[in-house]
Structure 1
Amino acid sequence: MIYDLSGHQSLTPADPEVPARLRRLQELGLGEVADAHLDEFARRAGDITRAPLAMVNFIRDDRQYLGGLYTGAAVPEALRTGLAGRTFTREHGYCPHVVVRRKALVLDDVCDYPRFAGNPVVDEIGIRSYLGAPLIDRTGVALGTVCVVDVEPRPWGRPGLETIKALASELVAQIHAREGK
């Protein structure tokens, strides 16, 4: 875990839902391999929000897996390369916070929030703004997130919040529809 400089506050939240999430992700066949449908959904999320980077992110016990990924032309090559494997630790990024909180998170400029400014994605890959919402399954398990990010601060505001929540709801409905097939 990564801690703030005072050593008092864990910057990566404890996640008691991991066992239930892993079981549910396995049942759904999600979180281990790239999915063209989820890539297309991420592309659409990026287009709708005009964000250069969009993801469908499944949170596991020790890592995050980008089941859906869209990197627009404006994404710096270092960031594109860093995401190529679609896997990174739970300490990188903001999606683990969204999953544990079970609420959308809007960070117009991550540097304005001490808890989030110290995240490795700020210095290592240049993330400056984040907008994400949890994917809460019909069983009540938070599977992961749909999120968009930018390398510049972005005033997402209420419209951004409503958009990302609507996208999360839409994707959960799609996941449930696929489950029934």
Structure 2
Amino acid sequence: MKKPEKPANEPLRIQTLNQLGLLDTEPDPKLDRLTEFVAHVFCVPVALISLVDSERQWFKSKVGLDACETSRDISFCGHAILDPGVFVVANTLKDGRFKDNPLVTGPPYIRFYAGAPLILENGSAIGTLCLIDIEPRTFDEDDIKVLREVADKVVNEFC
């Protein structure tokens, strides 16, 4: 398993995340509707709005997952915030970065992941809007476009 690296702008990213005051807050109905929407549109069992702080990824909104957070060291979202593009892992069992990850080898048995970074105006990617499936799958350019557009709507809700 490969632990996610820290972005070059990590101090600014963490400061920006903390200034938003979103961590450990109550669910937001508008964000929950967006999360439910992408879960339905992409027919996935799990969809999350994840915020990545220095030690964990915390789920501001979630569909299909009981956990409220996981360690950043095992997070897929920690990898997804490193690049502005949508991060896709079509089959976790065939990807050396993830095939022995505890989220792959145990519950929730992730086999597919797609995450669009939530990027604020200052360039800080504070988390992701992500999709998870228990089966490998493909994700085409149209899928990427839709996920990116909904992720941008999530960011608009934060600001």
TM-score if structure 2 supplies the norm length?
A: 0.89
Structure with bigger helix share is 1
Larger radius of gyration: 1
Residue in structure 1 matched with residue 5 of structure 2 by the alignment: 13
Aligned equivalent of 2:53, options 55, 60, 68: 60
Tell me how far 1:175 sits from its aligned partner. Answer: 1.8
CA contact (8 A) 1:64 1:88 kept: yes
Residue in structure 2 matched with residue 89 of structure 1 by the alignment: 71
Following superposition of structure 1 onto structure 2, how do residues 131-170 of structure 1 map, counting pairs within 5 Å? Answer: 131-170=114-153
CA RMSD across the alignment:
1.7
Q: Percent identity?
A: 25
Residue in structure 2 matched with residue 47 of structure 1 by the alignment: 40
Tell me how far 1:147 sits from its aligned partner. Answer: 0.3
* Structure 2 counterpart SS, 1:13: coil
Tell me how far 1:44 sits from its aligned partner. Answer: 1.4
Question: Which amino acid letter does the alignment assign opposite residue 24 of structure 1?
Answer: T
Residues 1-60 of structure 1: per-residue CA shift (max 9 Å, x gap): xxx5xxxxx432234433222221222221222422322221111112111100000000
List structure 1 segments (4+ residues) > 4 angstroms apart after TM superposition.
Answer: none
The yes-or-no answer on 1:25 pairing with 2:7 is no
- Partners of 2:44 and 2:26 in 1: how far apart? 20
- Partners of 1:40 and 1:21 in 2: how far apart? 26
Aligned length: 157
- Partners of 1:137 and 1:61 in 2: how far apart? 17
Question: Which amino acid letter does the alignment assign opposite residue 119 of structure 1?
Answer: N
Q: Which runs of 5+ in 2 are unaligned?
A: none
Question: Which amino acid letter does the alignment assign opposite residue 142 of structure 2?
Answer: P
